[in-house]
């Protein structure tokens, strides 16, 4: 241990601190597939020296003030559903488990806002809102595995983002504790022109600039009506063109997902299926929903789309939190699986898809792709890779090869290296290429806010002032 544990206990309360090996090990793996391989192999390359269970802003402030004075790394942790290694303590020190900070602080049905403690489980918050006739509109596949603070820190995006937006659109304000222990709360407003919008410093910062303790989000009345429908296209390019035209027409269906042939076969559980499938859903007031759905179907029809009815969408809605295809691979010795989400403008997405598919096909048994999170300018592309290696060490090498290839192709094609999973450890080697000069801007912000470099050090290529940034990755660590 590189710091005085008794001092830490005195600062945050002895009850809040654990140094037990089981606890420390359980915070050395998130949902990153490489971490799953490490777990199988009994490896714990990034283990904290202590875990502190955070019960509120005051305690977080005490912890961080002490950590900055002592130079002890503190890595915030929500529920560890990150699939990139983001909450793993790269430089050891303390993991600050935010999950004990849980519950709704305020719900305002007139202004349509909810304030929740940062460790609140997404699924519980959504259920509480639904009981009041409201919804978050934010529904990541990890809704029941992730926290509100984690969403803010990773810049998360949900399955219905095309209507409700991603977390940066939904966050109104939050309380954040800075590295020196000072807590600050952004003012509430529906919108404001009062200088630069500094909330964005922390949205997507992956815990490197502050620890979020309370979040106010927009909420929405539950939709009274819904229309669902699936459509088959022979050619994927027609499906992509339909996505583009739907957003270009200003239509806002909450559900827009286009599956390529390989993933469509999984989706429909039909190995003989040919073509690709678009899942569509509109919700809101009855007449608007009917008109929007009809308008979407007209665009599909004009591009050769054949309606498949609501059945495939209903089946998807029933299974949308099911991650077993990936999990089964990750549990099997030598098995590997990855999910890589990127984004591009409409002008580049077709080419990015083809190049990625061709480059990754030799490296995995299956390469499944869908397009979701659509914008008038472009869309995200989500790639699922499933494979089987001879043993766990080979699986680890296969995962690195996949990432190197995928990120190289994405950068060559001018795509965005992550749409919503973030950087964590897995994308660190590619971050400076993605950000260019602006990585230096990020580094200066880090030096100003966290000169001792104690908050999740190493992540986003950031350490403290005067410390050379490192391009850490999982590969060489165990």
Name the minimum Å distance from CB 205 to ligand FAD. Answer: 7
Binding flag, residue 115, ligand FAD (CB under 6 A): no
Binding flag, residue 114, ligand FAD (CB under 6 A): no
- With contacts defined by CB under 6 A, name the span among 65-73, 135-143, 244-252, 265-273 that binds ligand FAD: 135-143
Q: What is the rounded CA–CA span in Å between residue 185 and residue 177? A: 9
Binding flag, residue 141, ligand FAD (CB under 6 A): yes
Find residue 115's DSSP bridge partners.
106, 216
- With contacts defined by CB under 6 A, name the span among 40-48, 75-83, 262-270, 372-380 that binds ligand FAD: 75-83
Binding flag, residue 145, ligand FAD (CB under 6 A): yes
- Which residues, 155 to 174, sit near ligand FAD by CB under 6 A? 156-157
Phi and psi angles of residue 54, each rounded to the nearest 5 degrees, phi first: -85, 125
Nearest CB to ligand FAD, comparing residues 118 and 136: 118
Binding flag, residue 423, ligand FAD (CB under 6 A): no
Q: What is the rounded CA–CA span in Å between residue 33 and residue 316? A: 24
- DSSP summary character for residue 391: S
- Crossing angle for the helix pair 324-331 and 33-40, nearest 10 degrees? 30
Query: Who's near 115: CB < 8 A, 6+ residues apart?
Result: 104, 105, 106, 107, 214, 215, 216, 217
- Interface residue with ligand FAD among 83, 267, 340, 462 (CB under 6 A) is 83
Binding flag, residue 118, ligand FAD (CB under 6 A): yes
Taken as a whole, the chain contains a residue count of 478
- Interface residue with ligand FAD among 125, 211, 219, 256 (CB under 6 A) is 211
Q: Residues 405, 355: contact at Cβ < 8 Å? A: no
- Crossing angle for the helix pair 236-248 and 286-302, nearest 10 degrees? 140
Nearest CB to ligand FAD, comparing residues 305 and 335: 335
Q: What is the rounded CA–CA span in Å between residue 391 and residue 402? A: 16
Name the minimum Å distance from CB 152 to ligand FAD. Answer: 7
Count, residues near ligand FAD per rule CB under 6 A: 36
Q: Show the CA angle centred on residue 215, arms to residues 213 and 216, nearest 5°.
A: 155
Binding flag, residue 27, ligand FAD (CB under 6 A): no
Binding flag, residue 98, ligand FAD (CB under 6 A): yes
Tokens of 182: 């000072």
Tokens of 336: 């590997």
Report the DSSP pairing between strands 50-53 and 94-97: parallel
Name the minimum Å distance from CB 206 to ligand FAD. Answer: 4
Q: Cβ atoms within 10 A of the Cβ of 187, count?
A: 8
Q: Count of H helices and E strands in the chain?
A: 17, 18
Residue with tokens 């010795």: 333
Name the minimum Å distance from CB 141 to ligand FAD. Answer: 3
Name the minimum Å distance from CB 213 to ligand FAD. Answer: 7
Of 187, 212, 192, 217, give the one whose Cα is nearest residue 202.
212
Name the minimum Å distance from CB 381 to ligand FAD. Answer: 14
Nearest CB to ligand FAD, comparing residues 59 and 81: 81
Nearest CB to ligand FAD, comparing residues 145 and 289: 145
User: Which region, left, alpha or beta, applies to residue 264 given φ > 0 means left and ψ of -120 to 50 means alpha?
Assistant: alpha
Nearest CB to ligand FAD, comparing residues 273 and 323: 323
- Which residues, 307 to 366, sit near ligand FAD by CB under 6 A? 323
Binding flag, residue 86, ligand FAD (CB under 6 A): yes
Name the minimum Å distance from CB 445 to ligand FAD. Answer: 15
Binding flag, residue 420, ligand FAD (CB under 6 A): yes
Q: Which residues bind ligand FAD (CB under 6 A)?
A: 30-31, 75-83, 86-87, 98, 118, 140-142, 145-147, 149-151, 153-154, 156-157, 206-207, 211-212, 323, 420-421, 456
């Amino acid at each position: 241990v590189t710091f005085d544990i008794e001092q830490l206990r005195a600062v945050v309360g002895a009850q809040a601190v654990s140094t037990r090996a089981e606890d420390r090990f359980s915070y050395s793996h998130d949902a990153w597939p490489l971490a799953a391989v490490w777990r199988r192999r009994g490896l714990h390359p990034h283990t904290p020296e202590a875990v502190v269970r955070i019960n509120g802003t005051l305690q977080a402030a005490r912890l961080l003030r002490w950590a900055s004075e002592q130079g002890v790394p503190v890595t915030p942790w929500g529920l560890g559903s990150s699939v990139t290694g983001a909450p793993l303590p790269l430089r050891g020190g303390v993991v600050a488990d935010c999950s004990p900070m849980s519950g709704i602080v305020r719900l305002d049905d007139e202004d349509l806002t909810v304030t929740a403690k940062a460790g609140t489980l997404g699924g519980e918050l959504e259920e509480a809102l639904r009981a009041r006739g409201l919804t978050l509109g934010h529904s990541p596949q990890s809704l029941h595995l992730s926290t509100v603070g984690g969403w803010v820190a990773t810049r998360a995006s949900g399955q219905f983002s095309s209507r409700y937006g991603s977390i940066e659109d939904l966050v109104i304000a939050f309380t954040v504790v800075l590295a020196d222990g000072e807590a600050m709360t952004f003012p509430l407003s529906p919108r404001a022109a009062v200088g630069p919008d500094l909330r964005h410093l922390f949205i997507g910062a992956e815990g490197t600039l502050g620890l979020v303790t309370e979040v106010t989000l927009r909420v929405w009345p539950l939709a009274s009506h819904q229309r669902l429908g699936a459509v088959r296209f022979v050619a994927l390019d027609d499906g992509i063109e339909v996505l583009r035209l739907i957003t270009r027409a200003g239509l806002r269906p909450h559900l827009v997902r286009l599956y390529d042939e390989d993933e469509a076969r999984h989706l429909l559980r039909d190995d003989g299926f040919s073509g690709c499938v678009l899942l569509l859903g509109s919700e809101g007031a009855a007449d608007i929903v009917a008109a929007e759905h009809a308008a979407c179907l007209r665009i599909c029809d004009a591009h050769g789309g054949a309606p498949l009815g609501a059945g495939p969408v209903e089946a998807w809605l029933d299974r949308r939190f099911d991650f077993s295809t990936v999990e089964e691979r990750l549990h099997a010795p030598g098995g590997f699986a990855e999910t890589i989400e990127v984004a591009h403008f409409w002008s580049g997405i077709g080419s990015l898809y083809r190049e990625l598919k061709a480059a990754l096909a030799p490296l995995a048994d299956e390469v499944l792709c869908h397009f979701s999170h659509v914008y008038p300018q472009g869309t995200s592309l989500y790639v699922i890779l499933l494979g089987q290696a001879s043993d766990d060490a080979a699986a680890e090498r296969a995962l690195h090869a996949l990432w190197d290839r995928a990120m190289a192709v994405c950068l060559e094609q001018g795509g965005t290296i992550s749409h919503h999973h973030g950087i964590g450890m897995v994308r660190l080697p590619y971050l400076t290429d993605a950000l260019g000069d602006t990585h230096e801007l990020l580094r200066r912000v880090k030096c100003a806010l966290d000169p001792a470099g104690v908050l999740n050090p190493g992540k986003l290529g950031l350490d403290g002032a005067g410390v050379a940034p490192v391009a850490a990755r999982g590969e060489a660590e165990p």
